[in-house]
Amino acid sequence: MGDAVRKKVVLLGSTGSIGCSTLEVAKQIPERVELVGLAANASVEKLAEQARETGVKHVAIADASKEAELRALLPEGVILHVGNEGLIELATLAGADVVLVAIVGTAGLEPALAAIEAGKDLAVASKEILVMAGEIVTAAAEKRGVKILPVDSEHNAIFQCLDGHRGGEKEVSRLILTASGGPFRTWPEEELKAVTLEQALKHPTWEMGRKITIDSATLFNKGLEMIEARWLFGIGMERIDVVVHPQSIIHSMVEFVDGSVLAQLSRTDMCFPIQYALTWPDRVPGGLKPLDFGQLSKLDFEEPRDGVFPALGLARRAGLEGGTLPAVFNAANEIAVDAFIDRKIGFTEIWGLVGETMEAHETLPADKLENLIEADAWARERALSVCV
């Protein structure tokens, strides 16, 4: 390890669960991470409090209607950026080394592309960016010579397992993503129709936001991660598998062509992958507790019940067909989850709605951003029309 490098980080989505964990990491290793910009959607008071705590000079609020309210709460000398343009201004901030995108949904796509164009490394916590526009994002990063650093615990685990392997994807037989299985992994299929919102929001091992918690219960989060992994690591969808691992201690694995398997293990704390993404290629001590193997009684593995939870099959189909279909898969799921949260549809109707929307879509190439944006909008409108 050479001299310590202190990275200047812009954090988009600072008030969400990933954002708050990132602030905790920055607090633990200030000699390595300096936050220089924070952005949120509409959480004015929390964003202002974070600005005071971190001393950042640049803050952005995506909801333009909150501008005056936030401006009144910000410390003197802080520059406020507003709306989608404000997110892009923050993502291209002069002097920043890394832009960590933790914005839920597709709102982070334009800022992510702007950050790449500005020569910033991109730390990705928002699955939708690569699911919707993986071809465009990875091509842009390669062209500009910037690194895409995965923050999701599963992709970060694979990134760690692959780090330093000179043979690249030729050495890899499979990527194996682990899934907790969610709160309903052992439920009989006939009982899933009666699942309530409150039950779906009780994740067995992780503390997360509402959208991703429900995606975990349906296994759509794992489907999104399969497509994301295809772009992050250049591995075909046919070589990306999922195994259910209820303890969530092994965060993912890589099986190599010689039959060896490397796995990454740690406590269920998002600070681990965030810290590694921000300090890569170095490993540094911080405030994170290692595993106590004496307390681990067992590690269980099960095959996912694809017939009961169709999300993985839908994701594989979207990833294999490619083009605009992954964007449709993602957008329809967002609408379906919102409808479930609003109690307009039942739990099992989530994957039914996504499947119907995919069936109705005529797939176009994904090499143009306009095609992806149009497909995303079409899928939302189509799914919404069914939910009304």
Say whether both 39 and 126 belong to one domain: yes
Q: Give, to the nearest 10 degrees, the angle between helix 127-144 and helix 109-117.
A: 10
Final residue before a domain boundary, out of 116, 150, 184: 150
Domain-located, residue 195: yes
Question: What is the CATH number for 354?
Answer: 1.10.1740.10
Alpha helices per DSSP H over 163-293 = 197-200, 210-218, 220-233, 271-279
Q: Are residues 172 and 110 in the same domain?
A: no
> 150, 177, 206: which is the final residue of a domain?
150
Question: Is there a domain that residue 275 lies in?
Answer: no
The whole-number pLDDT of residue 166 equals: 63
Has residue 212 been placed in a domain? yes
> Could you read off the pLDDT of 195-250 as tens digits, one per residue?
999 999 886 665 667 888 899 999 999 999 999 999 999 999 999 999 999 999 99
Residues 102 and 170 in one domain: no
Instruction: Please indicate, yes or no, whether residues 116 and 211 belong to a single structural domain of this protein.
Output: no
CA dist list (Å): 249 to 157, 179, 261, 291: 11, 10, 16, 9
Residues 382, 331 share a domain: yes
**Residue 234 domain-assigned?**
yes
Question: How many domains, the chain?
Answer: 3
Whether residue 179 is found in the same domain as residue 301 = yes
E-assigned strand segments in the chain: 7-12, 33-40, 58-61, 79-82, 98-101, 121-124, 148-150, 172-179, 240-244, 250-256, 261-265
Note whether residue 276 is domain-resident: no
The sign of the torsion formed by the CA atoms of 48, 54, 55, 60 equals negative
The pLDDT of residue 1 is: 42
Residues of the chain with pLDDT under 50: 1-2
- Residue 97, classified by CB atoms within 10 Å of its CB into exposed (0-12), middle (13-18) or buried (19+), is middle
Q: What is the model's pLDDT at position 163?
A: 86
Place of tokens 């890589």: 254
In a domain, 143, yes or no: yes
DSSP H helical ranges for 243-347: 271-279, 311-321, 325-341
Final residue of a structural domain among 95, 123, 150: 150
Three-state DSSP class for residue 285: coil
Number of Cβ atoms within 10 Å of the Cβ of 21: 21
User: Under a CB-based contact definition with an 8 Å cutoff, are residues 138 and 5 in contact?
Assistant: no
For residue 129, give the CATH number of its domain: 3.40.50.720
d(CA 350, CA 352): 5
Let me know whether 162 and 248 are in one domain: yes
Same domain, 135 and 253: no
Indicate if 351 and 236 belong to the same structural domain.
Answer: no
* Residue 345 sits in the same domain as residue 250: no
Residues 298 and 195 in one domain: yes
Same domain as 137, residue 14: yes
Domain limits for position 242: 156-268+290-306
**Domain membership flag for residue 1:** no
Considering the domain boundaries, does residue 99 fall inside one?
yes
Tokens of 344: 């307009």
